[in-house]
Structure formats: C-alpha cells, structure tokens
A and B are shown apart, each in its own frame.
Chain A
Amino acid sequence: MVVVNKELCTGCWTCIPYCPVSALKKNEDETITYVDQDICTKCNVCIRNQVCPLEAIEEQPYDNFKNEFQHLMSDPTVSTKGTGVPGRGTEEAKTNDVTGRFGKNEFGICIDMGRPGIGCKLREAEKVAMAVVRAGVKLEGPEATPIAKIMTDLKTGKLRDDLLETYVLSIIVEGKCNIKRLPDVIKALKEVEKQIETVFSLGIVARVDENGDTPMFDMLKELNIPRPFRGKINVGLGRPLVED
C-alpha cells in the first residue's frame, strides 16, 4: 500500500492534484499529507511519477488479496497472471483476427466500470455483470479476464462477498452473446445504469464487412442508441487470419 512518511512530508501539497481519486489529503491541522486508504485504489501514479519532491510517498508490500487485487485493477503496468496482458484488460477485439473469439453471429461486450476516471466499488460491477448475464451474455472466464477470478459463479456474475466494498480505479465486465440478444442486453444496461453510483464506458465488439458496417447498427437505431462514431478497428493484418 501507499503511505506518506510523516517524518519527511512538509505539507507542500505538490502531490495532491496528481491522485486520480483524490486519496491524497491534507491532515486535520493541515500540516502534512496522508493517504485515505478507504479510497486509494493502489494505482501508484504518485509512486511511479515521484510526485513528492522529498520522496515522502512510499510503497509498502501488499499484505492481503484485497489490496493486491485493487493494485492489479488500478495500475496498468501490472500484468494479470493468466491473461498475460498488462492491466485489467484482455485482448478482446484486438487480436480477433487471429483468435476468432467473436464470431460473425456474435457481439462482444466490454463494460469499463468506473471509467472515465471515477472508479467504482466492486459491488457496482457485480450489479452490472448480473444484469447482463440475465439478459443473455456469457461472461469471459478467468483465463481471459481478471474479474472472473473473483466471481463465485460465472453463470450469474456474482462476486465474492468479502470484496464487494473494494474500491478500484476500474474493472472490466466482459462477455459475448448471440447478436439477436443485443436488444435485451442494451435494455438491461439502460435499467441497471440507473441503479449504480458510478459510471461505465460501453464498448460493443462486432465482426464487420469491408466497409466497416454491421447489422448491429439497425438494432441500435431501433433502441434509440445513436450510431457510434468512435471505434477501435482491428484491420485484419494478424496471421493466421480467421475469416469464418
């Protein structure tokens, strides 16, 4: 965990604006800084960038799974055992030209909980995961995505009870579904977005034709979702190429 060395801190406040979740705070008598451990996500921005001119911010070893998991989800320079991918993410659409993870009649869903920049308690991620599972999404397993490692049941999206109050900078709920179920999933997300205390950024993965089109656009239109204008395009140069 990250702590401020009281002997070294002079209360210059240089470090405070660098924390993405404002966990670096002035103490009661405004003499030194301290780390609010309830909201610190262990992202290590302060450590990595040496934001304290006197090196008063120090990292101590993580002594429990909860803190290690927070660090893993919040610090993108750390890799997850299993996926091998740095950060909390997966290869998702990025290698779909060679993995064929998402087929032509499927769509993938990437729900970036807590993004942009707000963070979230795992309880919020559980709500969203359970909602999309009920709507027909099959969640990715622990070999592909870190959140699955703390799920007690992949078929429901339920997370470990002892971790529900854990605060992370972000965590991704990932899965896939038959494209016919897209309206159900979007409706479920419209419902659950009203029940959470944070935000999420939503990505939908689809195989496309040579013009970048997909039947999904018509489905989104019927759901009053504007046609997307930003995307991450896998340009099909990976080999061996999956064409089916």
Chain B
Amino acid sequence: MTHSLHRSGSLESLKNDFVWFMYQASGINDKNIKDKALQFIAIAEKVNSENWGDIKTGSKLNHDIEEITNKITDNSRFRGVFTKREQVVEFLKELKKRNLGLSVIISGLLDEVLIACKEANVIPHTINYSLGVWGKKEILPEEDVLAITTMCGHHMVASNIVKEKMEEVKSGRKSPEDAAYELAILCPCGIFNQVRAAEILKDKQINNKDKLK
C-alpha cells in the first residue's frame, strides 16, 4: 500500500506535507496493540497532527476521537498528517522515548524527513522511494487538480469534485478552508492534508482575482 508516497505538487507546497503511520507487523508484534495505539494517538494529538484516522472508522475530521479509539482492534492501523517539520521531530523524539515497538513511517520530501530523523536522533531503516508516474501520462488531470487528489492516495477524492470545489472557491461561493474540509472528509484514512489543500485552493482564488483586475 503506497497511498502516501506519490503526492503531486510544487516542492514549496510539498514542504508542508508529511504523512505518519503506525504499523504493527502481522504475526510479529500485532497482538494487544490498543494501549500502544492510544499512546501513539496521544503523541500525535500533543504535536497537533492536523488530521488522522483509522480507515475502518474514519478520520478525526468527521468522527469523534472517542468513537475512533473505542473501535481500536489489533487490525487497526493509524495514520495522519503534519504540516511542519518541527512536528515530525517532536513526534519522533517522543515515540523513541516511549519505545512502543511498533513500526513508524514518515512520508514526505526526503530532504525534509531525513533532516527530521537526524534532529530526532532516529536512524532510517528502509525507504520506499517514489519514482513518479509512468505510462500514459497524457490522460492524467491537470497538475493543480492532481496536487489535491493525490493527497488521498486511495483516490477517494475524484478529480471532478476537486474541480467543482475550485470553481466554488474561485467564484467566492465557498472559503478555501470549507472547500478543503469537504474534500478531506472523503478520505477515510485521515491522510488528506486539508491545510495544504486550502492553500492550493487559495492560490486559485488569488489567481482568479488577479485575472479579474
């Protein structure tokens, strides 16, 4: 599953986009994980993870945290987003201190995440590198749409609904934040970065205002 790996967008925008994962390995350390998962979530909340969830229940954007945590089972996998490298550093430092024993993964720009690892004094073990999109690329939607749809790597956020929200923002019928939220709740696992999406939508609004001048 590589749904966080292949995000599109400008380097400047991607600098504000990190995905975290908590993963237990089947048959190795996957029993009685609830207490560890709760600690994991508490750390993510402490460093203000903007969105997170369990794909079986949904994300914290449209579910109570209590509802998500009440439904934790040994099959639950948590994941979420950060928008600043400093959050990643604090998150990793705290997880290292707690030594929960579950695998921790951070997805993002290598230059950013590797520095965060150094600052948190953790040593990367394995990396899944993105080598981009191959094949019939001419059938892909335009880049600014992809920058948003790829924030839900499972592609539960359709390009047409992104275009619709872009139009609503451009015309002033909806704020970038509200439009980003409406897109984010379509992603059931909580890795959609609604803060970054709002920034991208805001750029569309600004560009449109410039055109109208």
Query: Hey, which bits of chain A sit against chain B, CB under 8 A?
Result: 16-20, 22, 43, 45, 48-49, 76-77, 79, 83-99, 102, 108, 110, 112, 115-118, 169-170, 172, 189, 193, 196-208, 210-212, 214, 216, 220, 225, 228-241
Give the complex CA separation of A225 and B104 in angstroms.
Answer: 28
CB pair B2 A118 closer than 8 Å: no
Query: How many B residues are at the interface, by size bracket?
Result: 35 or more
CB pair B130 A199 closer than 8 Å: no
With an 8 A cutoff between CB atoms, is B169 at the interface?
Answer: no
CB pair B96 A237 closer than 8 Å: yes
Residues of A within 8 A of B106 (CB): 232-233, 235
Residues of B within 8 A of A198 (CB): 135-136, 139
Give the complex CA separation of A76 and B165 in angstroms.
Answer: 24
Q: A201-B6, A234-B127, A237-B103 are in contact. Are A229 and B1 (CB under 8 A)?
A: no
Residues of A within 8 A of B164 (CB): 17
- Looking at the complex, which one of B75, B114, B158 makes contact with A19 (CB distance below 8 Å)? B158
Segment with Cβ contacts to A, from B63-71, B148-156, B172-180, B192-200: B148-156
A-B contact pairs, 9 of them (CB 8 A): A84-B26, A91-B25, A97-B103, A118-B139, A170-B155, A199-B140, A201-B132, A203-B128, A230-B130
Residues of B within 8 A of A214 (CB): 127
With an 8 A cutoff between CB atoms, is B33 at the interface?
Answer: no
- Looking at the complex, which one of B107, B111, B159 makes contact with A117 (CB distance below 8 Å)? B159
CB pair A116 B146 closer than 8 Å: yes
Query: Hey, which bits of chain B sit against chain A, CB under 8 A?
Result: 1-8, 11, 14, 19, 21, 23-26, 28-29, 55-56, 75, 77, 92, 95-96, 99-111, 113-114, 117, 122-137, 139-141, 146, 149-150, 153-161, 163-164, 185-186, 188-189
Q: A17-B160, A88-B1, A170-B155 are in contact. Are A193 and B128 (CB under 8 A)?
A: no
CB pair B5 A231 closer than 8 Å: yes
CB pair B123 A225 closer than 8 Å: no
Residues of A within 8 A of B75 (CB): 79, 84, 86
Q: A87-B55, A94-B23 are in contact. Are A237 and B1 (CB under 8 A)?
A: no
CB pair B139 A232 closer than 8 Å: no
A172 to chain B, nearest CB (A): 7
Residues of A within 8 A of B155 (CB): 20, 43, 115-117, 169-170
